[in-house]
Amino acid sequence: MSAYVITGGRRLHGSLDVQGSKNSALPILAATVLVNGRCVVHNCPKLSDTECTIKILRSLGCSVRREGNTVTVDATTVSCSHIPEELMHEMRSSVVFLGAIVGRTGKATLCAPGGCEIGLRPIDLHLYAVRRLGVEVDECYGNITCRVKNKLEGNKITFSFPSVGATENAILLAATATGTTTIVNAAREPEISDLCAFLTSCGARISGAGESIITIEGVEQLHGCEHRVICDRIVASTYLIAGAVTGGDIELKNTEPVHLNAVLPLLEEAGCNVSVRCKSIRIKNPVGLKRIDKIITQPYPGFPTDSQALFTTLTSVAKGTSVIVENIFESRFKHVPELIRMGAKIRAEGRVAVVDGVPKLYGAEVFSPDLRGGAALVVAGLCAEGVTTVNNVGYIDRGYEDFSDNLSVLNADIRRV
Ligand code: EPZ
């Protein structure tokens, strides 16, 4: 697998357009299966995860064309309701196809997505939601078979945890069910609102997107539409932190600053100057970083778990001790041993990491443990003294479009080997 070789110590400066959101593009591309027509999705990032999603669409019988960041899907000829096992294993979040496939074909077969590097990733809430709408679910030896008993009927779905994926599957299945579905304790992430905006453009009738209670009035069928995916708030936070740890001056354009309401104040607490103007965010850090008292990951609108690894890197080179609590996933500190190899002083126990900031990190050979942990190691390499090699960058390719090219444009010394 490829690696990034980074020579640290250069201040990052300049401006960058931030890519479209991976976690919005995936459910929206899955939602096109529900549409008996043609959908045009703009600002769809080129990632291994989006390319895997396109492969699944084609395996279901859709015709898909990508031109730059625009993906056109014609799902008129959807004929299959099975997600190939190798594609499920390639991307476990393919489980978001479940609601769309059952909604369109009345059945679905897929292998249990299984865990990943950051946790067990159960799908009990997904299966609870589809059962509530009239779907029979059989789980046998890791295979899941779903079939609509009589017809899809709206119902009340109450989640014990505001799961993003389960909320997406519930919305997708309810969109064309008969009657009204009310989702209680729904996830409130911006990607949920973006999915609902896409479905509404296709004729769905949804209210409460972005709130804890979402109501969906099922419609007979959905028609094609054109939609632009929102900016990726986690990728935006990644570039902001790259600017912060290198003492740089970076401006991000085409962002949605409101989606970073839980992130920007922590960057200011760390001593950064953050200025927001319309769709742009500018960060400067001329005087070095200070500790952040507590970083506690929560469901949106709380601090996002996907930015936790990046803040672990930032606090590693801040003055003082910071405390990080990871409430969402059970093993999302795998980047910590790698940062320690670079000279960081971190004690991680269970869901808590205590970070004692050090004056500087030192280049080393490290290994990406997962998508966001890998990005955190690249950012550490940018501010470390000497050369850092980050291996297993395939993880990073899942979520970051043109990562090394963009960092090079911002004055980083990084190359992919
Ligand atoms: C989505 O994953 C994102 N992925 C994740 O981003 C993100 O970290 C996560 O939401 C939380 O924001 C995509 O959108 C493709 P969840 P998802 O269901 O939907 C437990 C990245 O880096 N849970 O909200 O899988 C689960 O184990 C990725 O881009 C159940 O117990 O997240 C976890 O502890 C990583 N049962 C918690 O809920 C279920 O049925 C949050 O999971 C479902 C989830």
Question: Tens digit of pLDDT for each residue in 322-352?
Answer: 999 999 999 999 999 999 999 999 999 999 9
Say whether both 247 and 375 belong to one domain: yes
Average pLDDT score over residue span 360-385: 98
Say whether both 258 and 157 belong to one domain: no
| Rounded-to-integer distance, Cα 63 and Cα 353, Å | 47
- How remote is the CA of residue 233 from the centroid of ligand 1, in Å? 16
Rounded alpha-carbon distances, angstroms, from residue 156 to 52, 168, 298: 33, 15, 25
Average pLDDT score over residue span 119-125: 89
- How remote is the CA of residue 173 from the centroid of ligand 1, in Å? 18
Q: Which of 201, 228, 255 is where one domain is finished?
A: 228
- Atom index in ligand 1 nearest the CA of residue 399 equals 29
Sign for the CA dihedral angle at 357, 359, 364, 370 comes to: positive
Say whether both 260 and 285 belong to one domain: yes
Q: Which amino acid residue places its CA nearest to atom 6 of ligand 1? A: 306
Say whether both 269 and 355 belong to one domain: yes
52 is catalytic: no
Secondary structure class of 346 (helix, strand, coil):
strand
pLDDT band at 181 (very low <50, low <70, confident <90, very high): very high
pLDDT at residue 114 in the model: 72
| Rounded-to-integer distance, Cα 169 and Cα 127, Å | 9
Q: Which amino acid residue places its CA nearest to atom 8 of ligand 1? A: 306
Token pair, residue 127, equals: 């299966």
Look up the domain containing 277 and give its range: 3-19+231-416
pLDDT at residue 351 in the model: 95
Least confident segment among 85-94, 210-219, 285-294: 85-94
| Rounded-to-integer distance, Cα 35 and Cα 75, Å | 6
- How remote is the CA of residue 388 from the centroid of ligand 1, in Å? 30
Say whether both 180 and 325 belong to one domain: no
The best mutation among 328, 330, 398, 401 to test binding of ligand 1, ranked by most ligand atoms within 8 Å of the C-beta, falls on 328
Q: Which amino acid residue places its CA nearest to atom 7 of ligand 1? A: 306
CATH number at residue 79: 3.65.10.10
Say whether both 13 and 27 belong to one domain: no
257 or 121: which leads in pLDDT: 257
Say whether both 61 and 197 belong to one domain: yes
- How remote is the CA of residue 165 from the centroid of ligand 1, in Å? 6
- How remote is the CA of residue 194 from the centroid of ligand 1, in Å? 17
| pLDDT of 277 strictly over 90 | yes
The closest alpha carbon to 409, from 268, 253, 228, belongs to 253
Say whether both 345 and 238 belong to one domain: yes
Q: Which amino acid residue places its CA nearest to atom 31 of ligand 1? A: 122
For residue 5, give the amino acid letter: V
pLDDT at residue 233 in the model: 98
Instruction: Report how many domains make up the chain.
Output: 2
| pLDDT of 43 strictly over 90 | yes
The best mutation among 22, 23, 130 to test binding of ligand 1, ranked by most ligand atoms within 8 Å of the C-beta, falls on 23
Token pair, residue 382, equals: 């940018």
Q: Which amino acid residue places its CA nearest to atom 26 of ligand 1? A: 121
Average pLDDT score over residue span 370-384: 98
Q: Which of 169, 203, 228 is where one domain is finished?
A: 228
Say whether both 310 and 189 belong to one domain: no
- How remote is the CA of residue 267 from the centroid of ligand 1, in Å? 24
The pLDDT > 70 percentage for the chain reads 100
Average pLDDT score over residue span 92-100: 92
Give 15's strand partners: 251
pLDDT at residue 120 in the model: 80
pLDDT band at 45 (very low <50, low <70, confident <90, very high): very high
- Atom index in ligand 1 nearest the CA of residue 370 equals 22
pLDDT at residue 231 in the model: 98
pLDDT at residue 93 in the model: 87
Say whether both 280 and 139 belong to one domain: no
| Set 116, 140, 202, 383: catalytic member | 116
Q: Which amino acid residue places its CA nearest to atom 25 of ligand 1? A: 165
Angle formed by the axes of helices 97-105 and 22-31, nearest 10°? 10
pLDDT, tens digit, for every residue of 394-416?
999 999 999 999 999 999 999 99
Say whether both 314 and 400 belong to one domain: yes
| pLDDT of 140 strictly over 90 | no
Q: Which of 228, 263, 285 is where one domain is finished?
A: 228
Q: Which amino acid residue places its CA nearest to atom 16 of ligand 1? A: 163
| pLDDT of 307 strictly over 80 | yes
The pLDDT > 90 percentage for the chain reads 92
- Atom index in ligand 1 nearest the CA of residue 116 equals 35
399 contact partners, CB below 8 Å, separation of at least 6: 22, 47, 49, 232, 234, 235, 371, 372, 375
Q: Which amino acid residue places its CA nearest to atom 4 of ligand 1? A: 23
Say whether both 212 and 249 belong to one domain: no
- Atom index in ligand 1 nearest the CA of residue 23 equals 14
| Rounded-to-integer distance, Cα 70 and Cα 364, Å | 38
Ligand 1, pocket residues at CB < 6 Å: 22-23, 26, 93, 119, 121-126, 161, 163-166, 187, 305-306, 328-329, 371-372, 399
pLDDT at residue 112 in the model: 82
- How remote is the CA of residue 328 from the centroid of ligand 1, in Å? 8
- How remote is the CA of residue 286 from the centroid of ligand 1, in Å? 36
Average pLDDT score over residue span 315-328: 98
- Atom index in ligand 1 nearest the CA of residue 398 equals 29
